[in-house]
Amino acid sequence: MNDEQLHAMRHSLAHITAAAVQRLWPEAKFGVGPVVDNGFYYDIDLGEIKISEANFGKIEKEMRGIINYGDDFERFEMPIDQAIDWAKQNNQPYKEELLNDLKRAGTTVAKDLDVSELGLATDGEAAVENVSFYKNGNFVDLCRGPHVHNTKDVGAFKLLRVAGAYWRGNEKNPQMQRLYGVAFATQEELDQYLENLELAKQRDHRRLGEELDLFTGSQLIGAGLPLFTPRGTILRDKLNELAQSYRVNRGYQKVWIPHIAKLDTYKVSGHFEKFPELLRFTSTESGDELALKPVNCPHHTQLYAGRPRSYRDLPVKYVETTTVYRDEKSGELGGLTRVRAITQDDSHVFATEDQVEEVFSELLDSAKHMYELLGLKLSLRLSFRDDANNYLGSRETWDKAEGSIKSLAEKFELEYEIGIGEAAIYGPKMDFMATDALGRKTQLPTVQLDYAQPERFGLEYTAEDGSKKRPVMIHCALLGSIERFLSIYIEHTGGWFPFWVAPEQIRILTINDTVLDYVDEIKSVLDGVVLMQPIKYNELRYTVDDRNESLGKKIREATNWKIPVQLIVGQQDKDNREVSVRTQSGEEKVSLEQLSDYLKGL
């Protein structure tokens, strides 16, 4: 099936889901049932009745009955006033609200009415006269479509979960039940997806974060504000050191900025105008309004503006790992994937037009090399603006910036797709999509071209001819949000981190107390190891398990902690001046003299 056929199939299954629910609960009131990635959902109001996973079997049984009966999907249209009467007569208040909103739009679609989400047939900007319905059997649904020809044409499906969802995404509206399903053209594709889903559950970073003691949350501290344990902090720090090293080696200078700023800062930058909901601010005794910073770039512009600049100074390169704060909706928070305290390995370059290509080349090379090391495959998306008016700068400047981004991608011979509407408010981006071990794609590193903020903040440098010119600003984060990166990386590795970044790299397991003096010799070797790749550090992170427990128990516990190297020490090892090294690859004997080189080789 092509994408259009899959869309029609999944849309039809949303319709069939609603029909099955109505058979089981005739009083059901329906919202919308769109297609989403790999499947569909339908928003349903059943009053006091709550759907649970225990109900999925009987809903799916009804769905298969509808499918096997083999009714055609019949499309028809109805004048909007007649459609409103239909909604009233069938006790469908949510459909009635949508229809009334559509009617209220009049000859032009109202700005606050997103018709694309309503599933209604409209004729562009013309007055809405007719809306479309689909019927199969006795079930009729207001819907834009498209649908397959017959219910038997829908492929393989499964209901996955049910969640609460406010009607039309507004927390002031009634809460409905959102019933999710997945659908594929064949049973084999569905089985593979479900298998990957089960693997994803086993690798869920929230579960592994608790099991491996990496991070925790606190209702007292607040949702979306994760707390990292000593083990989790090691993981954060080592990954950040890696990302920072790529910039420092290219001449970036570390800077520091405060976590608050006057609200005027974000009025100048445009962030307050475009995203006021992300900012929280308070007044001081001087009358200034201060905001927690949602981004770092305005602060870095002021570091640049803090002294006169010449073309000889450029490019000016700043790098900083720091936290920004955004008032994300509580319903969208989860684990480390979406948080309110977002740590970024952020860098900003102020450059001349002629230097943009070189800066981009360095950053692209760094991203490619770093993600190869981390075992995550990258693909490229050029994120451009759409026709909305929520961007900073003129269309002419945007066309210039987008043309530059596209030319750079082609010059570097990078394959790419274009994401319309994915740009930052101030400029287009090269967004790198990382594919993890389960084949899931997530946007992580990003390089962004910005002409707007240098203009808004009045940044200048003195050109060779003595004239004043604007620098170009280039934003880059290699990890992106460290929290979101960790959510991906923990699941990608399943908690089995590479040796260099593992919070606990080595655990020494003793068979009995007779080898404790030999363990001291092993510790002396470990303390002298200096690892140089991929970053330099001088201390191996190890512990000793010399408890009076069986070796089997010690091995199981070390394995459950996913410690990459276990050194097993018994009397024979002591006598032979060696250790038994146990890794995921198996177990082997290594002499004490060669242990340092062996560990460096990992």
Classify residue 550 by its DSSP letter: -
Q: How far is residue 324's CA from residue 268's CA, in Å, rounded to a whole number?
A: 18
Contacts of 352 (CB under 8 A, 6+ apart): 311, 314, 315, 461, 469, 471, 472
CB 242 within 8 A of CB 477: no
- Integer Cα distance of 147 and 503 in angstroms: 52
**Residue 31 in contact with residue 176, Cβ under 8 Å?**
yes
What separation in angstroms does the CA of 490 have from each of 207, 446, 498? 10, 20, 11
Length of the chain: 602
Which tokens hold the place of 274? 């475009």
Angstrom distance (rounded) from CA 269 to CA 452: 9
CA 317, CA 313: separation in Å to the nearest integer? 10
373, two tokens: 């090391």
Q: Which residues are catalytic?
A: 297, 326, 344, 346, 348, 429, 475
Structure-token pair, residue 136: 């199969």
Cα angle vertex 204, ends 201, 205, to 5°?
Answer: 175
If phi > 0 it is left, if psi is from -120 to 50 it is alpha, else beta; for residue 579 that is beta
- Count of beta carbons in the 10 Å neighbourhood of residue 568: 20
Q: What is the largest CA-CA distance in the chain?
A: 93
Do 350 and 459 meet the contact criterion of CB atoms below 8 Å apart?
Answer: yes
- Report the distance separating Cα 263 and Cα 269, nearest Å: 10
Task: Give burial (CB, 10 Å; 0-12/13-18/19+) of 263.
Answer: middle
CA neighbours closer than 13 Å in the CB half-sphere of residue 214: 30
- DSSP H or E segment with residue 317: strand 316-325
How far apart (Å, rounded) are the C-alpha atoms in residues 154 and 17? Answer: 12
Do residues 131 and 83 lie in contact, with contact meaning Cβ atoms separated by under 8 Å?
A: yes
123 contact partners, CB below 8 Å, separation of at least 6: 129
- Reference 502, options 542, 531, 533; nearest CA is 542
